[in-house]
């Protein structure tokens, strides 16, 4: 809890700084925009958080979102059915998760290699599948999911809240969630305590894929178009959000609410850069620095903890 | 008597090495208490003692890894100060541990001369021809015909050991410490090793030889030093030492046992039935039974295979033959089935295998019992807190709250958390692997009390312990393990330290 | 070099398949084409092999190469001589390599995350400097050099082959080479032997960065321009080449010959798919599948 408190203070400080530097920041339009964008980042990062909690990683989430979105778009426009399109996107996201889980638990491939290979495979397939085209023109009803408002609040924020609650329930109020933390904290001790490690790992990667699929649908609704490069720039910010949110790469510590705060911090930084008319090309650099800093804090926290055992 | 136990160098030759009055303490434990040891050039000096007697600590002081609290090291009559392993190597001390320090994908010559490669023509290059020639010469001295271009990972254990010896020789080692050198060798390889050792001593190298195999003292030893409870209790000439006498020295007088147990008069039904168990960790043909109400011991020296047997029974390592039945039902594969059948394992390394140190007492207690306590999958925090609080009070775990991270607990309390985990899971059969290792005397008694209460309630316990007094005081009977097989069973009447040692160490020459 | 056979068979099979089904595949011109296309990749895969042998990884190579290419192009565009421009590019690469080494060895950050971070930084710098546009007008010196054929071999192939032999020599004949394997196989042994393991460990990453910088010579020469995203993703090809070639992520086992075969396999795969008119996007996917296949075989062999 203390960790989240520090981060919320950081959020407050950034907000304070930005509202002093520019008039546009504290407008409701801008703030809702920030929240909407943070929600989108959070959706992708939520499944990723689960995999990192087990001491693993899913590098393929961004590419998964990309291909699932393109698939969903194609199915939606060719069959005219939103339901089929959504199903296709979700289904594919789950499929990717299943494949990742198999590579990691059955073939014993280290998670970052397995999901890295998957990332590039998905990337390539996405470009091939789209053949350089863009898909437009989804139904207005569908678009509400990404660009609509409910009671003045952008819909993605509701989706984010739903994910947050569902994820929170999963991690804190189910035995599965507790087993996930146990595996991340000490995999062998968990195994020797009767935790079905392989089954839980598969579950976690499938969930990561499923959430990526769901995020793809919301992204699609927001962007109102699908092209091959949707997913490319999504992975690094997702990882950054998780790490900044306090989830440790070593496993066993962290939370979804932390990831949300991390997504918020990241989005605020980008928003600030935009408002202050900083060249958008700086963003990957800033994200990279943030990732390094966040991991460094993680490593140092761990070292200090281990020294006190 | 006193003179026999203080064997000094025959002629007034200055010993090559003298460790004088070495004392070393760690938090809560006095590992070495005024220990002195001398080594003469050209002798094989055995260092004997039970686990925890201080052998490895003494050797770590010698090789510069630990600084002694008191005492000094004298080499060729002059005191030396060792601040690091590099210093020790410089004065000619080489240690061959059981885990070898070879690089798997470098060849033998590269391994032998790692860090000291002969220079080639261009800066930074290596003179391979000279390196291999020098390596060849060293291996020839040791009577080994391995190709120096072989990669280290292709070697068997015995061959890796020879390469380690060659490495030590290449550093002009004058004092060679060998830790359990014959543990993984066949009889034939042991003979060759002894031949090499004799060749080395003929060159004036002093060898400090740590082993549990007492019959080797007569085969190759010149003198023997016995450590017990951190003290040097005797240094004998090997010609004058019998196995019985050595055992007696290692074990000491019957120590007043702090714990008196009410032994099981009438064991109940068979809880654990193991038949002809083979596992991929080396266990072969193991058969044993444990009944309700009993504490059955598994005795043997370090490396005999007791933990492997325990892990095979629990399913932690893969079973390839035979059967394990709990309450009549055969166990499926893996720890998941064992836990569901009511088996609990309290592992030897509680910090790495028994606990998640970064998690709270409550989380650790609940982890094995999640399925049993919350069969629907919904985790109720209040119920969990209740279970944890109940166990903390029942086992008297010293912690300010159940939310405290287990890494802050004392050793004894940590162990109780591990035991508590199995309480919460409803286990009825417990496997303890060194339950009181690293725990202070007071907490030890508490753990014994917990074990006694467990079996009094009808549970069954299988206990591994390297502390013989503990085994004798707590167990109803014991099986003795040697070389990954069960070699005997001692009933209550026969269960004493001397018998255990004899069965555990007896090696058909 | 003993575990090469697997990758070599794979390469042979691919060559045969493409020769049969692809018209124009098995011509001299095409073979040279494959060689030229694979040159830059080889320059990255060689140091990547060493890094993976130390149980590490460098995901920033593609971004660093792109950045170095931009720097090289920029220097040429401002009429600096080729040697100085190349030195600048190599310097940039080296700086990132040292940074990577510092993060992994000095701070103890997990390699893939640390280099993911520097990837972002390098990428960001390249985008900022160029505003997302190519840097053209680099003059004639570099393109002429690139088109030249020393001893009848295309320039890029000559460089790549030379690099291969230099790396081979380094790995087998120098102390540094032995220590690379030790860093991955038994770092403890190295430390106990009194060797400055940290310094050597950092230099492995530094070498990777420097090579990425040098590879800019070929990349910019080929494109006659510097583009900020020119080499994005090439690190994946490099990792794939190393894995397919048999170098493992544990114990310090590695084979430069295997990496060479891995690079050629990828080159053949891409070229062959091109000849068969299969879109380049699927080629990327196929490399991903290739890696997974190689890993499956590897884990199958382990059992």
Residue by residue, what is the 3-state secondary structure of B196-221?
Answer: HHHHHHHCCCEEEEECCCCHHHHHHC
Q: Do B354 and A189 touch (CB under 8 A)?
A: yes
Q: Do C117 and A124 touch (CB under 8 A)?
A: no
pLDDT of residue C1: 39
Distance CA B451, CA B415 (A): 12
pLDDT of residue C215: 95
Strand partners, A153: A150
Instruction: Name every chain B residue with its beta carbon within 8 A of the beta carbon of C185.
Output: 103-106
Share of chain A above pLDDT 70, in %: 98
What percent of chain B has pLDDT above 70? Answer: 93
When the pLDDT of each residue in chain C is averaged and rounded to a whole number, the result is: 88
pLDDT band at C27 (very low <50, low <70, confident <90, very high): confident
Of A109, A118, A291, the CB nearest to C117: A291
Helix (H, G, I), strand (E, B) or coil at B433: strand
Phi, psi angle pair for C183, to nearest 5°: -60, -35
HSE at residue B256, side-chain half, CA atoms within 13 A, is 1
Residue B255's pLDDT band, with cuts at 50, 70 and 90, is very low
Which of A189, A304, A308 to mutate: most B Cβ within 10 Å? A189
Cβ-based contacts under 8 A for chains A and C: 136
- A303 neighbourhood in chain C, CB within 8 Å: 108
Query: Is A173 an interface residue toward B (CB < 8 Å)?
Result: yes
Q: What is the 3-state secondary structure (H, E, C) of B273-339?
A: EEEEEEECCCCCCEEEEEECCCEEEEECCCCCCHHHHHHHHHCCCCEEEEEEEECCEECCCHHHHHH
- How large a percentage of chain C has pLDDT more than 70? 96
Chains linked to B by 3 or more Cβ pairs within 8 Å: A, C
Among chain B residues, CA nearest to A178? B367
Do residues A172 and B338 touch, judged by C-beta distance below 8 A?
Answer: no
Max avg pLDDT among A22-26, A84-88, C273-277, C297-301: A84-88
pLDDT classification of C5: cutoffs 50, 70, 90: low
Res. B161: pLDDT tops 90 = no
Q: Say how far apart CA C89 and CA C64 lie, in whole Å.
A: 10
Instruction: Order the strands of the B286-291 sheet from edge to edge.
Output: B286-291, B270-279, B319-326, B329-330
Which residues on chain B are in Cβ contact (under 8 Å) with C181?
103, 105-106
| C176, C186, C194 ranked by CB distance to B103: nearest | C186
Distance in angstroms (rounded) separating the CA atoms of residues B228 and B221 = 19
- The alpha carbon of residue B495 is apart from the nearest alpha carbon of chain A, in Å, by 31
Contact flag C251-B153 (C-beta cutoff 8 Å): yes
| Cβ–Cβ < 8 Å for B431, B313 | yes
Torsion angle in degrees (nearest 10) through CA of C266, C267, C269, C270: 110
Helix, strand, or coil (residue A13): helix
Confidence of residue C6 (pLDDT cuts 50, 70, 90): low
Contact A193 B314 (CB under 8 A): no
Minimum mean pLDDT range among A59-68, B455-464, C260-269, C275-284? C275-284
Joined tokens for residue A306: 């281990």
B52-79: per-residue pLDDT in tens?
Answer: 678 888 888 888 878 888 898 988 888 8
Two structure tokens written together for B160: 């890796």
**pTM of the full predicted structure?**
0.83
Please indicate whether, in this complex, the C-beta atoms of C251 and B120 are within 8 angstroms of each other: no
Residue of chain A nearest B359, judged by CA positions: A185
Closest residue to B103, CB basis, from C174, C175, C252: C252
Q: Residue C51's pLDDT is what?
A: 95
Rounded CA-CA distance B120/B113 in Å is 14
* Neighbour count for residue B393 (Cβ, 10 Å): 9
Residues 6 or more apart whose Cβ sits within 8 Å of residue B69: B23, B24, B25
Q: Does position C4 have pLDDT exceeding 70, yes or no?
A: no
A308 CB neighbours in chain B (<8 A) are 407
pLDDT at B506: 66
Contact B102 C186 (CB under 8 A): yes
Residue C256's pLDDT band (boundaries 50, 70, 90)?
Answer: very high
Count of H-run helices and E-run strands, chain A:
13, 4
More confident residue, B399 or B255: B399
Measured between beta carbons, the chain A residues lying within 8 angstroms of B345 are 192
Q: Cβ of C233 under 8 Å from any chain A Cβ?
A: yes
Give the mean pLDDT of chain B.
Answer: 87
Three-state secondary structure readout of chain C:
CCCCHHHHHHHHHHHHHHHHHCCCCCCHHHHHHHHHHHHHHHHHHHHHHHHHHCCCCCCCHHHHHHHHHHHHHHHHHCCCCHHHHHHHHHHHHHHHHHHHHHHHHHCCCCHHHHHHHHHHHHHHHHHHHHCCCCECCCCCHHHHHHHCCHHHCCHHHHHHHHHHHHHHHHHHHEHHHHHHHHHHHCHHHHHHCCCCHHHHHHHHHHHHHHHHHHHHHHHHHHHCCECCCCCCCHHHHHHHHHHHCCCCCCCCCCCHHHHHHHHHHHHHHHHHHHHCCCCHHHHHHHHHHHHHHHHHHHHHHHC
CB within 8 A of B352, min separation 6: which ones? Answer: A186, A188, A189
Task: For residues A121-140, give the mean pLDDT.
Answer: 86
- The full set of domains in chain A, from first to last, is 28-301 (1.10.3470)
With cut-offs at 50, 70 and 90, classify the pLDDT of residue A57: very high
Question: C191 touching A, CB under 8 A?
Answer: no
- Contact criterion met (CB below 8 Å) for B467 and B436: yes
What per-residue confidence (pLDDT) applies to C41? 95
- Which of C55, C169, C183, C185 best probes binding to B when mutated, by most B CB atoms within 10 angstroms? C185
Q: Which positions in chain B have a beta carbon within 8 angstroms of at least one beta carbon in chain A?
A: 314, 316, 335-336, 338-340, 345, 347, 351-359, 363, 366-368, 370-371, 374, 377-381, 407, 421, 425
CB B90, CB B112: distance < 8 Å: no
Tokens describing residue B143: 């009577």
- Asked if A174's CB is within 8 angstroms of B353's CB, the reply is no
What's the pLDDT score for residue B256? Answer: 44
Q: Are B235 and B6 a contacting pair, CB within 8 Å?
A: yes
Could you give the CA distance from residue B290 to residue B249 in angstroms, rounded to a whole number?
33
CA A37, CA B50: separation in Å to the nearest integer? 65
Q: Is the pLDDT of residue C50 over 90?
A: yes
- List all chains that touch chain C, counting a touch as 3 or more CB pairs closer than 8 Å: A, B
More confident call, C118 vs B260 = C118
Domain ranges of chain C: 37-232
Model confidence at C300, pLDDT cuts 50, 70, 90, reads low
Question: Quick check: B142 pLDDT over 50?
Answer: yes
Q: What pLDDT is attached to residue B414?
A: 92
pLDDT of residue B260: 72
On the question of pLDDT at B257 being above 70, the answer is: no
How many Å apart are CA B54 and CA B230, to the nearest integer?
5
Quote the pLDDT of residue B349: 86
> Which chain A positions have a beta carbon within 8 Å of C119's beta carbon?
236, 288
pLDDT value at position B228?
A: 84
DSSP helix/strand/coil, B132: helix
- Chain B residue whose CA is closest to C196: B115
- Contact between B46 and B209 under an 8 Å Cβ cutoff? The reply is yes
Closest C-alpha among B490, B53, B481, B486 to residue B302: B481
CA distance A120 to chain C (A): 6
Contact between chains at A185 and B407 (C-beta distance less than 8 A): no
Using CB atoms, pick whichever of B335, B377, B379 lies closest to residue A194: B335
Query: Across the interface, do C190 and B105 touch by the CB < 8 Å criterion?
Result: no
Question: What percent of chain C is predicted at pLDDT more than 90?
Answer: 48
Give the whole-angstrom CA distance, residue C105 versus residue C184: 13
Residue with tokens 């606990």, as numbered in its chain: B355
pLDDT at B509 over 70: no
Does residue C190 surpass a pLDDT of 90?
no
Q: Which residues contact B486 (CB under 8 A, 6 or more apart)?
A: B285, B286, B287, B288, B309, B479, B480
Partners of residue C286 in chain A, C-beta under 8 Å: 124
pLDDT given for residue B1 in this prediction:
42
Residue B2 confidence (pLDDT) above 60: no
DSSP string for residues in A78-114: HH--HHHHHHHHHHHHHHHHHHHHHHHHTS---HHHH
Q: Taken in order C59, C62, C68, C71, is the CA torsion positive or negative?
A: negative
Exposed / middle / buried, residue A58 (Cβ in 10 Å: 0-12, 13-18, 19+): buried
Q: Which residues of B touch A175 (CB under 8 A)?
A: 370-371, 374, 377-379
Q: pLDDT tens digit string along B3-57?
A: 667 776 555 577 888 888 899 887 767 788 889 999 999 999 999 887 667 888 8
Instruction: Report how far residue C213's alpha carbon sits from residue C61's, in angstroms, rounded to the nearest whole number.
Output: 9
Residue B242, number of CB atoms within 10 A of its CB:
12
In this predicted structure, the answer to whether residue B440 has a pLDDT above a threshold of 80 is no
Decide: C137 and C220 in contact? Cβ < 8 Å: no
Of C103, C122, C124, the CB nearest to A286: C124
pLDDT in tens, B360-400: 999 999 999 999 999 999 999 999 999 999 999 999 898 99
d(CA A123, CA C288): 9
Judged by CB atoms closer than 8 Å, whether chains meet at A128 and C285 is answered as: yes
Q: Which neighbouring-strand residues pair with B488?
A: B480
* Alpha carbon of residue A152 to chain centroid: 25
Which residues in chain C have their CB less than 8 angstroms from residue A119's CB? 288
CB contact under 8 A, B105 and C174: no
In the predicted structure, residue C175 carries a pLDDT above the cut 50: yes
- Mean pLDDT to the nearest integer, B288-298: 94
pLDDT, position C302:
59
Count of C-beta atoms within a 10 Å radius of residue B219: 13
CA-to-CA distance for C109 and B154, rounded, in angstroms?
A: 33
Looking at per-residue confidence, does C74 or B259 come out higher?
A: C74
Helix or strand (DSSP H, E) at B447: helix B441-456
Mean pLDDT within A39-50? 93
Beta bridge partners of B178: B96, B209
ipTM: 0.89
> Residue A16: enclosing H or E segment and its boundaries?
helix A2-21
Residues in contact with C263: Cβ distance below 8 Å, sequence separation at least 6, in sequence order = C38, C41, C42, C45, C241, C245
Question: What mean pLDDT comes out for the span C48-53?
Answer: 95
Residue A278 is classified by DSSP as -
Of all residues in chain C, the one with the smallest CA distance to B87 is C194
Chain A residues whose CB is inside 8 A of the B425 CB are 194
- Residue B200 pLDDT more than 70? yes
**Measured CA distances, A188 to B281, B316, B335, B349, C254 (Å):** 17, 10, 11, 11, 29
Nearest to B104 among C176, C185, C195 (CB): C185
Q: List the domains of chain B with CATH numbers.
A: 1-90+218-253 (3.40.50.300), 275-342+429-435+462-509 (3.40.50.300)
In sequence order, what are the residues at sequence separation of 6 or more whose Cβ sits closer than 8 angstroms to the Cβ of residue C109? A292, A295, A296, A299, C103
Tokens of A172: 């804190």
CA distance A253 to chain C (A): 17
- For residue B37 the two structure tokens come to 């040891």
| Antiparallel, parallel or unpaired: β B295-299 and B477-482 | parallel
Contact residues on chain C for A281, CB-CB shorter than 8 A: 124, 127-128, 131-132
Chain C CB contacts of A117 under 8 Å are 240, 288, 291-292, 295
| Cα-Cα-Cα-Cα dihedral sign, residues B153, B155, B161, B162 | negative
What is the least distance, in Å, from the CA of C194 to any CA of chain B? 7
CA distance B305 to B479: 12
pLDDT at A141: 78
Nearest to C124 among A125, A127, A281 (CB): A281
């Amino acid at each position: 809890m203390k960790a989240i408190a520090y981060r919320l203070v950081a959020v407050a400080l950034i907000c304070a700084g930005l509202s002093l530097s520019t008039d546009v920041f504290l407008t409701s339009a801008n703030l809702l925009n920030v929240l909407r964008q943070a929600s989108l980042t959070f959706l992708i990062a939520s499944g990723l958080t689960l995999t990192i909690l087990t001491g693993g990683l899913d590098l393929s989430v961004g590419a998964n979102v990309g291909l699932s979105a393109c698939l969903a778009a194609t199915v939606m426009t060719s069959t005219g059915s939103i339901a089929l399109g959504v199903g296709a996107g979700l289904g594919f996201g789950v499929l990717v998760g299943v494949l990742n889980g198999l590579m990691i638990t059955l073939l014993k491939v280290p998670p970052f290699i397995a999901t890295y290979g998957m990332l590039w495979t998905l990337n390539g397939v996405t470009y091939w599948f789209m053949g350089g085209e863009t898909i437009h023109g989804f139904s207005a009803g569908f678009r509400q999911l990404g660009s609509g408002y409910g009671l003045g609040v952008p819909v993605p924020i509701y989706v984010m809240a739903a994910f947050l609650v569902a994820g929170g329930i999963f991690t804190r109020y189910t035995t599965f969630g507790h087993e996930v933390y146990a595996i991340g904290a000490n995999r062998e001790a968990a195994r020797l305590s009767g935790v079905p490690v392989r089954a839980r790992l598969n579950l976690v990667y499938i969930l990561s894929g499923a959430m990526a699929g769901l995020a793809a649908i919301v992204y699609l609704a927001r962007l109102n178009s699908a092209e091959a490069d949707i997913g490319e720039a999504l992975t690094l910010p997702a990882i950054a959000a998780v790490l900044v949110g306090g989830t440790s790469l070593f496993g066993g510590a962290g939370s979804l609410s932390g990831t949300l705060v991390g997504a918020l911090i990241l989005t605020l930084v980008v928003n600030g850069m935009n408002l202050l008319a900083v060249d958008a090309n700086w963003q990957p650099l800033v994200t990279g620095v943030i990732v390094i800093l966040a991991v460094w804090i993680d490593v140092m926290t761990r070292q200090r903890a281990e020294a006190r055992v | 008597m006193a003179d026999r136990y203080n064997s000094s160098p025959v002629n007034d030759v200055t010993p090559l090495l003298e460790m004088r009055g070495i004392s070393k303490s760690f938090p809560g434990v006095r590992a070495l208490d005024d220990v002195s040891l001398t080594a003469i050039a050209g002798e094989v000096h055995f260092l004997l003692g039970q686990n925890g007697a201080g052998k490895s600590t003494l050797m770590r002081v010698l090789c510069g890894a630990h600084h002694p609290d008191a005492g000094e090291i004298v080499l060729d009559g002059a005191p030396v100060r060792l601040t690091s392993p590099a210093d020790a190597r410089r004065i000619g001390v080489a240690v061959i541990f059981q885990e070898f320090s070879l690089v798997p994908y470098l060849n033998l010559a590269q391994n032998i001369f790692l860090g000291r490669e002969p220079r080639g023509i261009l800066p930074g290059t290596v003179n391979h021809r000279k390196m291999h020639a020098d390596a060849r010469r060293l291996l020839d001295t040791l009577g080994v015909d391995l190709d120096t271009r072989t990669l280290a990972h292709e070697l068997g254990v015995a061959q890796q050991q020879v390469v380690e010896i060659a490495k030590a020789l290449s550093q002009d080692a004058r004092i060679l410490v060998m830790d359990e050198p014959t543990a993984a060798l066949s009889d034939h390889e042991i003979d060759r090793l002894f031949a090499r050792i004799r060749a080395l001593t003929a060159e004036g190298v002093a060898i400090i030889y740590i082993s549990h195999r007492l019959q080797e003292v007569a085969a190759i030893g010149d003198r023997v030093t016995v450590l017990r409870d951190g003290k040097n209790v005797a240094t004998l000439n090997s010609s004058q030492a019998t196995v019985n006498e050595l055992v007696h020295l290692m074990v000491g007088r019957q120590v007043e046992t702090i714990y008196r147990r009410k032994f099981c008069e009438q064991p109940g039904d068979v809880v654990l039935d193991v038949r002809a168990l083979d596992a991929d960790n080396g266990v072969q043909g193991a058969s044993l039974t444990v009944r309700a109400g009993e504490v059955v011991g598994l005795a043997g020296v370090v490396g005999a295979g007791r933990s492997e047997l325990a892990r095979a029974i629990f399913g932690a390592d893969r079973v390839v033959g035979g059967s394990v039945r709990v309450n009549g039902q055969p166990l499926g594969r893996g720890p998941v089935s064992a836990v569901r059948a009511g088996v609990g394992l309290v592992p030897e390394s509680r910090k790495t295998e028994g606990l998640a140190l970064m998690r709270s007492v409550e989380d650790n207690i609940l982890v094995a019992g999640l399925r049993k306590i919350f069969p629907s999958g919904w985790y109720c925090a209040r119920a969990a807190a209740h279970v944890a609080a109940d166990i903390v009070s029942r086992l008297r775990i010293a912690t300010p709250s159940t939310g405290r991270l287990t890494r802050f607990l004392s050793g004894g309390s940590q162990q109780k958390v591990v035991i508590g985990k199995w309480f919460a899971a409803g286990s009825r059969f417990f496997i303890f692997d060194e339950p009181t290792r690293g725990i202070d005397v007071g907490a030890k008694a508490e753990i014994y009390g917990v074990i006694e209460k467990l079996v009094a309630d009808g549970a069954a316990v299988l206990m591994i312990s390297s502390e013989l007094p503990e085994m004798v005081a707590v167990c109803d009977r014991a099986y003795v393990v040697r070389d990954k097989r069960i070699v005997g069973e001692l009933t209550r009447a026969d269960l004493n330290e001397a018998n255990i040692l004899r069965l555990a160490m007896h090696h058909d020459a | 070099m003993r575990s090469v056979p697997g990758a070599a068979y794979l390469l042979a099979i691919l060559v045969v398949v493409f020769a049969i089904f692809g018209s124009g595949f098995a011509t001299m011109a095409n073979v040279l084409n494959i060689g030229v296309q694979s040159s830059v990749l080889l320059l990255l895969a060689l140091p990547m092999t060493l890094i993976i042998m130390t149980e590490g990884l460098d995901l920033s190579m593609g971004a660093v190469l792109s950045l170095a290419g931009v720097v090289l192009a920029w220097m040429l565009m401002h009429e600096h001589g080729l040697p100085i421009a190349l030195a600048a590019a190599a310097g940039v690469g080296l700086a990132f390599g040292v940074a990577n080494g510092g993060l992994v060895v000095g701070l103890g950050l997990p390699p893939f995350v640390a280099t993911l971070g520097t990837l972002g930084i390098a990428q960001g710098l390249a985008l900022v400097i160029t505003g997302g546009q190519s840097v053209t007008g680099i003059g004639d010196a570099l393109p002429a050099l690139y088109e030249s054929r020393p001893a009848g071999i295309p320039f890029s192939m000559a460089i790549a082959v030379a690099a291969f032999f230099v790396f081979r020599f380094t790995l087998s004949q120098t102390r540094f080479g032995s220590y690379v394997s030790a860093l991955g196989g038994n770092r403890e042994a190295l430390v106990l032997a009194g060797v400055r393991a940290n310094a050597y460990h950092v230099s492995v990453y530094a070498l990777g960065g420097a090579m990425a910088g040098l590879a800019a010579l070929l990349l910019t020469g080929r494109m006659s321009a510097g583009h900020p995203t020119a080499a994005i993703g090439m690190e994946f090809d490099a990792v794939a080449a190393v894995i397919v070639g048999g170098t493992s992520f544990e114990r310090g086992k590695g084979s430069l010959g295997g990496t060479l075969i891995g690079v050629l396999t990828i080159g053949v795969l891409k070229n062959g798919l091109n000849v068969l008119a299969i879109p380049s996007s699927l080629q990327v996917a196929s490399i991903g599948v290739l890696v997974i296949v190689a890993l499956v075989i590897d884990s199958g062999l382990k059992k």
